[in-house]
Amino acid sequence: MSHLMRGSRAVLGLGLGLAVLPLTGVMAQEAGFGGAAAEVATAAPSAMAAPSALERGVEFVRLGGPAIWAIAALSVVALALILWKAWRLMMLGAWNGGRVARAAVDLWAEGREAPAMAMLDGRRSCRARLIRAAMAARVDPSLDDAGAQAETERVARNLLAQARGGLRPLELIATIAPLLGLLGTVLGMIAAFQALQEAGSRADPAILAGGIWEALLTTAAGMAVAIPASMALTWFESVADRLRLEMEDAATRIFLRPVSTGPEDTRARAAE
């Protein structure tokens, strides 16, 4: 996880710098960095563009104030959560199609319990684990139908909790990132109008405009974090819902057909 976080910081820093590259050209001119800095900001990317982009990303964060630092931290956490969640769902077999699980259910429907259960041995996908648990509960002589269904539901709840793990923090980030951006903008606008009031009749409209666009940076940054976080959250929720439906369908098919295994085979399987 530490390697994932370090990689996420590097990717975020580079992406942030490249995203604000055109904007920081204007910043360089306003801050008196000179024509050379403006040329670097507006020039085509070259072999030396990466360090300059990172420096301008830092300048972007500095101008945004405390709110932009909080949003930058949220962006790192959001990126780490998205990468971890995609990896976790891949480990749970969310995108492998469940061909083996469906084949095992078909064997069970044909009355071939032993081959169906053997096909799922050692499988780590959530579908295979649920179906294997449902089959084992069905042939367990110590469980009646109600007990077998309760055991299957218990396993299903645990697997679905794993599939949906990490979605609440991602939802929280998608909610509070634009609010933090709005808070930073409001604080920046307050500071800009205070400066305008103190200037009195000697107020320069250019100073007010500069303060306003700097304050609006936090709103843009908050939305830039919230939009991909919301898209990823919706995608992960759709994957979890699809898994739930497929697992419910497979478990229903298993419980619809009576077990045809004889008492001796049932006792032998329970002993194993």
Q: What is the pLDDT of residues 175-219, one digit of tens each?
A: 999 999 988 888 888 877 777 777 776 766 666 666 677 778 888
Q: What is the pLDDT of residues 3-61, one digit of tens each?
A: 333 444 443 443 444 333 333 333 333 333 334 333 433 444 443 445 566 666 666 56
DSSP class of residue 165?
A: T
Q: What is the pLDDT of residues 78-116, one digit of tens each?
A: 999 999 999 999 988 888 767 888 889 888 988 888 888
Q: How many helices (H) and strands (E) does the chain have?
A: 12, 0
Q: What is the pLDDT of residues 133-178, one digit of tens each?
A: 999 998 888 888 889 999 999 999 999 999 999 899 999 999 999 9
Q: What angle do CA 197, 25, 47 make, to 5 degrees?
A: 155
Please state whether the predicted TM-score (pTM) of the whole model is above 0.75: no
pLDDT of residue 241: 93
pLDDT score of 224 more than 60: yes
Three-state DSSP state, 160: helix
Contacts 24+ apart (CB under 8 A), 62-67: 63/27, 63/214, 63/217, 64/184, 64/214, 64/217, 64/218, 64/221, 65/184, 65/187, 65/188, 65/218, 66/184, 67/180, 67/181, 67/183, 67/184, 67/187, 67/218
Q: What is the pLDDT of residues 231-253, one digit of tens each?
A: 999 999 999 999 999 899 988 98
